[in-house]
Copies of this chain bind each other. A is one copy, B any other.
Amino acid sequence: MPERTSQIDDPQLAAQGEAAFRWFAERMPVQRALGERFGRTRPLTGRRVAVCLHVEPKLVAWIDVLIAGGVEALAVVGCIGSTQAATAAYLATRPNVTVYAREADDWRTHNDYITEVLSSPWEILVDNGSSLTTRWHESPPAWVPLGATEETRTGKLRLAATGLPVRFPVIVVDDSPLKRTVENSLGVGQSVVDGILRATSLILGGKRVLVMGYGWCGQGISRRLLGMGAIPMVCEVDPIRRLQAKLEGNLVGSPDELLPLADLVITVTGRDHALTLDHVPLLKKDAILCNAGHFSTEIDVEAFGAASTKTWEIRKGITAYEIGNRKFFLLCQGHLVNLAAADGNPIEVMDLGLALQALSMVEISLAGGRLPQGVQPVPEAVNRATAELCLAHF
């Protein structure tokens, strides 16, 4: 394999990246325990691994686990918009790790990185949004990996949308029951409250907050809002979840009924345009809107911009709109409020999620081709082992 060079903003930022890493290194005990175990058992000995994940401090702890486990070569491609240059620089100091991540990356540079990485053979792909796996299937190279992991539902759907038969095992972490309760419900519930507090400095006690969507994330958000003294309200198209929302103490109704009552609206539906221009006349005076779903398109921000007579940034992260006779506020331009206004999911939640990834990789590595091809859930044994690790170390 040819010698590769990391494509990063500035190698000199490594010391700064190390400093930013300290607190996370300290508070990710599951990665630490995995690193020690992998150092003894070396379950990834000699493996060549290509990764596409967010390049931020928590990733470093996990990469060190893989290295301890014996990985021979690692390519790390960042995601668009989330790369921290100092962390990229620090990561690039690791032996046998090539980093492709700059803060200004866009779809074009991202695709170039993917192209370059896939030009060499890898045994395990670790993916987020199916950048590596989908490209592999669209333009299959001469080599076939032992398997891949995929972090998100989005990636799962993107791969399925190709219509192509899946040619190797793809373990979808998002389907794990651990991810649902710990990450989607508890992690997102806390971090969305956190993001709203940071962005607005307002009191939640007594606020009527409309949660649009009562999936795992919506349930977690509603519960934490209740815990902070807010009055949660829920719109949900599925009647089963709507009934659950009602009996769990949420005011339940249609957007037409509830938007006029809502001081704050949070979209977390998993679909586009949950909030559109049509809803604007229903909004309460000075309502605040934000999004906690994966895509910023849950709120039709573009249409708001086009229709507004006046738009201004009233505070960092808060845009004021005037449309017709309505004035309202949008947080973080509709980007995920827990990531854009706060630090995303709590550290422990990432520690758990990255353990699911690492142990799924070991399954792929040790199975040596015995796993079935195609999309599959995290093996039950991996879920249990991860839960045991978290119980022992949190």
Contact = CB atoms under 8 A, between A and B. Distances in A.
B248 A23 contact: no
B315 A23 contact: yes
Given A201-B343, A248-B206, A239 B394 contact: no
A275 to B, nearest CB: 21
Q: How many copies does the complex hold?
A: 4
Contact of A22 (B244, B248, B314): B314
A375 interface: no
Given A186-B205, A347-B201, A387-B243, A249 B229 contact: yes
Contact of A206 (B204, B246, B342): B246
Interface in A204-232: 204-206, 224, 226-231
B228 A203 contact: no
A190 B203 contact: yes
Interface string A144-169: 00000000000000000000000000
A205 B390 CA distance: 13
A315 B203 CA distance: 27
B314 A26 contact: yes
Identify the 3 closest CB pairs spanning chains A and B, nearest first.
Answer: A227-B227, A203-B346, A239-B387
A73 interface: no
A247 interface: yes
Contact of A383 (B224, B240, B246, B318): B240
A40 interface: no
Contacts of A203: 186-187, 190, 247, 346-349
A178 B238 CA distance: 12
A105 interface: no
A379 to B, nearest CB: 13
A390 B201 CA distance: 17
Contacts of A239: 384, 387-388, 391
A391 B190 contact: no
Contacts of A206: 246-250, 394
A84 to B, nearest CB: 14
A244 B179 CA distance: 10
